[in-house]
Structure 1
């Protein structure tokens, strides 16, 4: 079986080599880039399954690297940074990162997050490369699904359709939408959503949930009898009117 490839981007040689050692022990293949430009070149030639991307780089920063990669690739990205401010985390997620870790971090947590992100990616790719499923087939209510006015979320096929049109979204957004929609009008706090949906001990900021909710709202036309509502001081709910 071919090893999954991890691209490590960090200008600190000691940290990069240490991360590589952790991952090699877990049977991953690794490459290291010490600059943003090298990272972009290796993203094309090494074709990684996941990128560990430090924000502070000597030429172009990790935010710009992430933006450039997202123009052509959906490779999962976990950002690494000594910056623990909420703004930095939210910016990374908005630019397309899948996760964010604050230095220094525990090696076991790093490996757990890498594996968790890769599991979700493999599941999505399996759905994408399977036999095509037409809109008609999806609306025949096959598998595990929830349906509301104009909206169909199918967890078996990992698809979302809105008013008959397919809506593209990463696995975690789809899982969050499905979780809320399956429990209409029930309020969940940010911490509860993190506990239920992030399948490892997530030590990040609860604003991660806010970013995913914002992305969902941008993709869904809520001119229906349902909406993703904020319950101030509490959390979120999938409100059915």
Structure 2
């Protein structure tokens, strides 16, 4: 088996796929090309790639739906996360936001520079490798976070398991992407403290220069939806318009 990182390319235009394979192979990767979503699902299940590049406009399935199925496969089998990048001719902001809200690592619109795409692939892989070893070794396995001493205020309804990179909310484990986990863990550690978007980018994303403010907003939106699914009557994250986000200090017990 090749020791070169395996990159799954899901693209129905052979000219673009050929270009991607050439530049990736020239930069030391092992590209694997699939023309359809079905072929990509089979390849993904047989051997996980280091990263996947997904075209949105596939002939047999929308790229966003393919992303969901690939993520479901990883969750069902408790497999490690695979970074994913959307590649599409659609450059509307709404498409970009949808991709980021789903949890994609990047969104690249056609036409694009092949060398820039390879550079982004390398950045994402470095970021993922650092995220995999970023949990502090000395951290206790499970930490309950309180806004104040128990005699004054009950603990917040969050329990952070650093070793498993898991957060429970009112006793329910949350299924979070690595960025959602990083955002929520940071907010939970400092209840009431307002974090600007720049601070969240710099502390959660390893390379903030590769992201933008809208990335934070998109991930906060999906995070809120997951929290609301557990406790619809509670809104734990508050927005300070023009500034950033903070976790409420007086969340109710249940």
**Aligned mates of 2:48, 2:234 — CA distance in 1:** 43
**Aligned mates of 2:224, 2:31 — CA distance in 1:** 36
**Aligned mates of 1:196, 1:124 — CA distance in 2:** 12
**Aligned mates of 2:112, 2:248 — CA distance in 1:** 38
**Aligned mates of 1:126, 1:198 — CA distance in 2:** 14
Q: For the Cα contact (< 8 Å) 1:86–1:205, is it kept in 2?
A: no
Q: For the Cα contact (< 8 Å) 1:225–1:240, is it kept in 2?
A: no
Q: Which runs of 5+ in 2 are unaligned?
A: 75-80, 135-139, 148-155
Task: Note the 1:81-100 alignment, pairs <5 A.
Answer: 81-100=88-107
Residue 159 (structure 1) aligns with? 166
**Which is further off, 216-225 or 54-63?**
216-225
**Aligned mates of 1:124, 1:198 — CA distance in 2:** 9
Q: Which runs of 5+ in 1 are unaligned?
A: 128-136
**CA deviation after TM superposition for structure 1 residue 22, in Å:** 2.9
Q: For the Cα contact (< 8 Å) 2:201–2:211, is it kept in 1?
A: no
Distance 1:161 1:61, change over 3 A: closer
Pick one of 202, 217, 226 that aligns with 1:210: 217
Q: CA RMSD in A?
A: 3.5
**Which is further off, 32-41 or 154-163?**
154-163
Residue 141 (structure 2) aligns with? 138
TM-score, normalised via structure 2 length: 0.71
**Aligned mates of 1:19, 1:190 — CA distance in 2:** 33
**Which is further off, 193-202 or 23-32?**
193-202
Residue 36 (structure 2) aligns with? 35
- SS, match of residue 217 in structure 1: helix
Report the count of equivalent residues. 229
